Structure 1
Amino acid sequence: MRTSRSLTRLAAIFVAVGLFFTSQSLATPQRAAAADPGYLMVHFTGEGSTNQQMYLSHSTDGVHWNDLNGGGMVLRSTVGTKGVRDPAFVRSPDGSKYWIIATDLCISCGQTWSQSINDGSRNLVVWESTDLVTWSQPRLLNVAGAIPDGRNAWAPEAIWDPASNDYILYWATNVPLNGVTKHRIYYSHTSDFRTISTPQTYIERPGTQEIIDTQIIEVPAGVGNYRYVRASGDGQITLEGSNSILGTWTNLGNLSGIGLTGSMVEGPMWMKFNGTNKWALYLDQYASGGGYMPVLTTDPSNPASYQKQASTSYNMGGTKKRHGWIMNLTAAEESRVLARWPNTTAQRLQSYNFQDRYVRQTNFDVRIDPNVSPIEDSKFRLRTGLTGTGTVSFESVNNPGYFLRHANFDFQLVRNDGSSQFAQDATFRQVAGLADSTWSSFQSINYPDRYIRHYAYELKLDPITTATGRDDATFRVTN
């Protein structure tokens, strides 16, 4: 009897130890090997015209994130409301094309929440790329204009549907019910994010219950009972499963069992860890202003499998991450992304002979001014020159993709068109200051007898032959 009881207790101990190590393995994913590609998050950071733009962060292990581009925006919307939120990445099945789709919304910079809910933009903002680093100009895609009494278009997502051989684009639109706000999820088919099929209702909750945020993942065979799982913000964080994107979805439960409800978190964002059947469901702690937190699982379709993480087990980086999307990178994609947006500090160019003045852009013209406002107009990232190493190019902080470029020996802030001529016109050698060797001067690559200088406070490209010219062509690179 004692022997039997001892064996039973020993077996229980082994089971408990096994469960402990299983829990530990789930709660603290191993960091990826150095050679493994990591993860790329696109997101916005808060309210206002600067924070409601596109930002990128990178992670090697999926739970510790580093801001790219010095924590600055990587894309700015110049269309619609000129603000963007809730972005999603889309990668074509063959990896030859990428899109970013986002909500056309700028809270506290032209719109109130009431306006955006009841008479907001019916458009999404779309960027397109073939390499994940060179993006098109933003364009508007009207998705809600054809929805009767549709008041807005929020939180877009898209997934490739092999059944229809195109993308299912889905988003939330407010169509009031008996005069009361009610967001539903609508969908359309698209192959190019330029034209869409007539929108159809995709998800509608009963009565007055709204649903705004939802994101779908495809689950590999052998994990759970469904090919697709979606997480939605609808008063809870509701999980549903289906074997086809436009088929019947089964309610699987929610995350209230681990203390997470829709009144606390929103913006569900999936991520699968490389090389293992483990997932993170990131949730935006909007009620507390805490930004994203990961909840981990080995079976997305099983609400009981989700585990909250101690705040010490993850790090979201220097900027607040708001509703976005995570892409598992290939090695080639990661190499391009990290080279394009290194974590560099924004800097200013201070005039040597007018030390209260700094190089700045104003309406894309370039000059030196005192008391620059907003100060971001005088901030640049000194990138490795567009023509190659050993040189420098100046990229605008608040107009990403725009560089200081000379044309007819005058300077403008111009969007990089990718041409060889642009690269030459926007590239310089940083040399010892012509008036003071502890400062810097910038010599043109394609006109090596000429330097950046100011004349009547305007930036020019001139040959330097006088003491005044040397003063005018000397700058301090400073934070």
Structure 2
Amino acid sequence: MSAFLARLVAILSAACLLFTCQGLIIPERAAAADPGYLMVHFTGEGATNQQMYLSHSTDGLNWTDLNGGGMVLRSTVGTKGVRDPALVRAPGGDKYWIIATDLCISCGQTWSQSINDGSRNLVVWESTDLVTWSQPWLLNVAGAIPDGRNAWAPEAIWDPASNDYVLYWATNKPLDGATKHRIYYAHTSDFRSITTPQIYIERPGSQEIIDTQIIEVPSGVGDYRYVRASGDGQITLEGSNSILGTWTNLGNLSGIGLTGSQVEGPMWMKFNGRNQWGLYLDQYATGGGYMPVTTTDPSNPAAYQKQASGSYNMGGTKKRHGWILNLTAAEESRVLARWPNTAINRLQSYNFQDRYVRHTGFDVRIDQNITGPDAQFRLRPGLAGSDTVSFESVNYPGYFLRHSGFDFQLVYNDGTTAFANDATFRQVAGLADSTWSSFQSYNYPDRYIRHYAYELKLDWITTTTGRGDATFKVTS
């Protein structure tokens, strides 16, 4: 009997061990994919390309243009062009700012003018959700610098030592016998006012420095809490343990064949889920746009590696000097919903078929044979309700067709319920021809969009003429 029990105990023990081992080797359920990355950038010269564009990536190396590759914000202040944006998230994640150079090359300014007598302002937008942005404002940062001649390539980083942001940028000015760009800095808490600017980075002799960007590095990686990459004839790397402390020169990227005569606009990113960083560099000398180099230690020049040309894809638009933000899941959801690849359309009049809806001076009318961007709109999901549409301008993104006093204007979305209601419509069968469309007001459902004396109105429709005036074709 005891032998039998011994054998039984052995069998049961073996079985328990087997099931225990099997439990240990069953892999854990794979974690949900990390949210991706958002890049804000400009795309080139001219009034259209020197605006704000967004791109999205799931892996940090392959990018998709948002909004069909169209601009997402347009500057209506200063030079009415913007370059070199930085996207700043507040530590609590409850506020965001885009800060950018107020500069429009080949649309009113030459390079010589912008260097020697350019805008002393930065352009700033503010948001609480990353998708609805304020109107832009100008922040004068170089006006307090004696003989400061411009303000370029702004960046900002939260400084826990001062409990505010260190805002830094390049200004050209004569000093100590050299007229050149130096990096200045000031403190700000709201990007509406700043402290007195101070020199932050200056290179010896006549050597300029224009582009620089700082990244915070976690404990255990390298010897420094902060690393900055700068365009100063090389792509120079420096390290420090405080933003306004002493910085140590760590070397440059000439060892992998990249110098300041080839690339500029260093733009950092941290890959999600692993200790690896990307440093994107703008191949301005060849016009090639951004390329990434990667590293496991931002402070070690020898750790950087070029990426093979087929290992990354920058998308359809050229990416120029910008900023990359690691998104949260909620941010990513909002951003992708706000800027899908929605088709660009025109609205053709039914009874004047050579005329199309267009904006001019922010008034809205129908004009003959209009094919340009003033007559181009994206039919977005309605701002106020489901199964509705809102008309967003292509060349003034964020501006929508809105009725006020039953007249139509192109107006910037202020995020209010009243705006959403006035800018939302139900697309129904055309009142004059069911194969066309009419647009019924969301908050005045007894009224429709129509033209009257070629001006767009919101009106009751009671006659045959009115039905023709209120019928449109959504066309390319």
TM-score (norm 1): 0.91
**Residues of 2 paired with 1:277 and 1:285: CA distance?**
26
**Paired residues of 1:298 and 1:305 also in contact (CA < 8 A):** yes
* Secondary structure of residue in 2 paired with 1:358: strand
Deviation at 1:155, TM superposition (A): 0.2
**Residues of 2 paired with 1:42 and 1:201: CA distance?**
27
Deviation at 1:467, TM superposition (A): 2.5
Which of 404, 407, 412 aligns to 2:409? It is 412
Q: 1:324 aligns to what?
A: 322
What letter matches 1:399 in structure 2?
A: Y
**Paired residues of 1:160 and 1:167 also in contact (CA < 8 A):** yes
Listed as ranges, the matches of 1:45-444 within 5 Å are 45-176=43-174, 181-372=179-370, 375-444=372-441
**Paired residues of 2:35 and 2:58 also in contact (CA < 8 A):** yes
**Paired residues of 2:263 and 2:282 also in contact (CA < 8 A):** yes
Unaligned segments of structure 2, at least 5 residues: 1-29
**Residues of 1 paired with 2:271 and 2:361: CA distance?**
44
TM-score (norm 2): 0.91
What letter matches 1:303 in structure 2?
A: P
* Secondary structure of residue in 2 paired with 1:176: strand
Deviation at 1:357, TM superposition (A): 1.2
**Residues of 2 paired with 1:44 and 1:33: CA distance?**
34
**Residues of 2 paired with 1:295 and 1:436: CA distance?**
58
Q: 1:455 aligns to what?
A: 452
Deviation at 1:247, TM superposition (A): 1.1
* Secondary structure of residue in 1 paired with 2:272: coil
**Paired residues of 1:92 and 1:98 also in contact (CA < 8 A):** yes
**Residues of 2 paired with 1:203 and 1:194: CA distance?**
23
* Secondary structure of residue in 2 paired with 1:339: helix
**Paired residues of 2:134 and 2:414 also in contact (CA < 8 A):** no
**Residues of 1 paired with 2:404 and 2:136: CA distance?**
25
* Secondary structure of residue in 2 paired with 1:270: strand
**Residues of 1 paired with 2:132 and 2:259: CA distance?**
39
What letter matches 1:275 in structure 2?
A: G
**Residues of 2 paired with 1:456 and 1:74: CA distance?**
32
* Secondary structure of residue in 1 paired with 2:316: coil
Deviation at 1:77, TM superposition (A): 1.0
What letter matches 1:411 in structure 2?
A: F
Deviation at 1:232, TM superposition (A): 0.3
* Secondary structure of residue in 2 paired with 1:118: helix
Deviation at 1:34, TM superposition (A): 6.2
Unaligned segments of structure 1, at least 5 residues: 1-31
Q: Per-residue displacement from partner, 1:193-252 (whole Å, max 9, x unpaired)? A: 111111111110000000000000000111111111000000111111111111111111
Q: Per-residue displacement from partner, 1:47-89 (whole Å, max 9, x unpaired)? A: 1111111111111111111111121111111111111100001
**Paired residues of 1:177 and 1:208 also in contact (CA < 8 A):** no
What letter matches 2:311 in structure 1?
A: S
* Secondary structure of residue in 1 paired with 2:174: coil
**Residues of 2 paired with 1:62 and 1:153: CA distance?**
30
**Residues of 2 paired with 1:79 and 1:387: CA distance?**
29
What letter matches 1:293 in structure 2?
A: M
**Paired residues of 2:88 and 2:157 also in contact (CA < 8 A):** yes
**Residues of 1 paired with 2:418 and 2:245: CA distance?**
52
Deviation at 1:161, TM superposition (A): 0.9
**Residues of 2 paired with 1:206 and 1:33: CA distance?**
50
Which of 462, 469, 472 aligns to 2:469? It is 472
Larger radius of gyration: 2
Give the % identical residues: 87
**Residues of 2 paired with 1:309 and 1:211: CA distance?**
26
Listed as ranges, the matches of 1:15-34 within 5 Å are none
**Residues of 1 paired with 2:164 and 2:420: CA distance?**
37
* Secondary structure of residue in 1 paired with 2:268: strand
**Residues of 2 paired with 1:430 and 1:273: CA distance?**
43
**Paired residues of 2:149 and 2:172 also in contact (CA < 8 A):** yes
* Secondary structure of residue in 1 paired with 2:400: strand
Deviation at 1:144, TM superposition (A): 0.8
**Paired residues of 1:124 and 1:141 also in contact (CA < 8 A):** yes
What letter matches 1:41 in structure 2?
A: M
**Residues of 2 paired with 1:267 and 1:471: CA distance?**
54
* Secondary structure of residue in 2 paired with 1:468: helix
C-alpha RMSD over aligned residues: 1.5
**Paired residues of 2:178 and 2:205 also in contact (CA < 8 A):** no
Q: 2:18 aligns to what?
A: none
**Residues of 2 paired with 1:51 and 1:179: CA distance?**
36
What letter matches 1:189 in structure 2?
A: H
Deviation at 1:422, TM superposition (A): 1.8
Q: Per-residue displacement from partner, 1:264-304 (whole Å, max 9, x unpaired)? A: 11000000001111111000111111111111111111111
* Secondary structure of residue in 2 paired with 1:338: helix
